[in-house]
Amino acid sequence: MSNFTIEQNHPIIKRQQTYVLDRKLLSVHSTDRDISKWPDSNHFEIELPQSLSNVQSIRLLNISLPNNQYVFTNDYQNTKLAFTIKGSINQSFTIEIEEGTYNGTSLAAEVQTKMNRAVSDGVSGGTEAGYNKFRCRYNNVSNTFWFGNEGDDFELNFDEKIDYGKLCNQPEVWYNYSRWGLPAYLGYKKETYESTLTPENSWFSPAVPGAPFGFAYEMQDGPGNEWLTDSSSNNWLVNVNNFSKDPNNENSICNVDLQGDVEVYMELDKYNSMDELQPYVDNSSGWFNNNYSGKVKNAFAKIPLTHTNDIYDRRIVDSTRNYIANISHYEPPLERIQKLKFTFRFHDGRYVNFKCIPFNFTLEFNMLRDEQMRSRIVRVPPLYCL
């Protein structure tokens, strides 16, 4: 007979796997990066003040971006276009507009000025000094961009690939079918556009091609509102109606794109959770050279850009209470995080050019902390407002 006691009055309570959620916030400014290693704020790495362990989820809590981001920059390859003047000049030219953000009227003025200056400065012998025959116009009713010339036949060489020099870390956009260059933003395609004489205008007598020209909504009061006014010589015109001879083709007329990209993608190296489709697909059904594809865990957050016209509203502020709706869960939890590497880009892979303007954001880390569950009863006095 055994002398050991095998019965217990105090049985062992089974240990439950209980955890408490520990929330840690991290404020990150673009100026926190080591500028000698990361000269551009669209791609940089930081080291955390303290390592984080057992991380169950990460979320972008809020972000503040500069509101005055450029739509047209050399990095985005959308600041140049080529054209040719026929006739006695018979010469090709290339212009480059100033980097920045435009409305329709200011963009038309910029392109017109640069085209006239290119001819004035580019023709040998100075025979065209002071050239001022090009007229560009933004039609704010149809949101289209028109080219005209008071005297010279011309063509727009939008099928010509223009060199932008060495682009640091930026993908080439020429082979895309959208936003492939400045002409695409103006509503044109990769074609050569031949100018034609302006159509007959019933406001003038005799009504012959090449007369002064204005949009229909401008001509209700008769002559005087036209934007091609020189009646002493023929007026030549190119507009987006030249896209297609088929009037039923809905793609024959494209709108001017003055807003640019309306969202920025934030990548968090090793911790992305958002999938993306590959843009600019042109052969998704073919047996051969099928370029339809997607990218798994390619981004961490998608940040809408809510532009405003208020010149005093200098920041784009977004948070989980507005438009950001991202959270990345990790199972099993991440054992340890010591460094974070960020990338800010557009959907087509172009890095965002912040033009040296700083920005900041806040990340939320939810960590699991092991604990022994305790039943606490807390009495709150009725006069306490908690």
Domains of the chain in start order, with CATH, are: 18-69+260-371 (2.60.120), 80-252 (no CATH)
| Residues of the chain where predicted confidence (pLDDT) is lower than 70 | 1-16, 221-222, 231, 240-253, 306-325, 372-373, 384-386
The pTM assigned to this predicted structure is: 0.84
Q: What is the pLDDT of residue 107?
A: 97
In angstroms, rounded to a whole number, what is the distance separating the alpha carbons of residues 321 and 324? 7
**How far apart are alpha carbons 79 and 169 in whole angstroms?**
18
Q: Give the list of residues 6+ apart from residue 232 with CB closer than 8 angstroms, or none.
A: none
Closest CA relative to residue 20, chosen from 365, 375, 336, 371? 371
Is residue 74 within 8 A of residue 365, CB to CB? The reply is: no
pLDDT at 304: 85
Q: How far apart are the first and last CA of the chain?
A: 64
Tokens 């503040």 belong to 64
| pLDDT value of position 306 | 67
pLDDT at position 3, please? 64
Token pair of 244 as six digits: 């297609």
pLDDT tens string 345-374: 999 999 999 999 999 999 999 998 877 667
Count the neighbouring beta carbons within 10 Å of the beta carbon of residue 302.
17
The answer to whether residues 105 and 138 touch, using CB atoms and an 8 Å cutoff, is yes
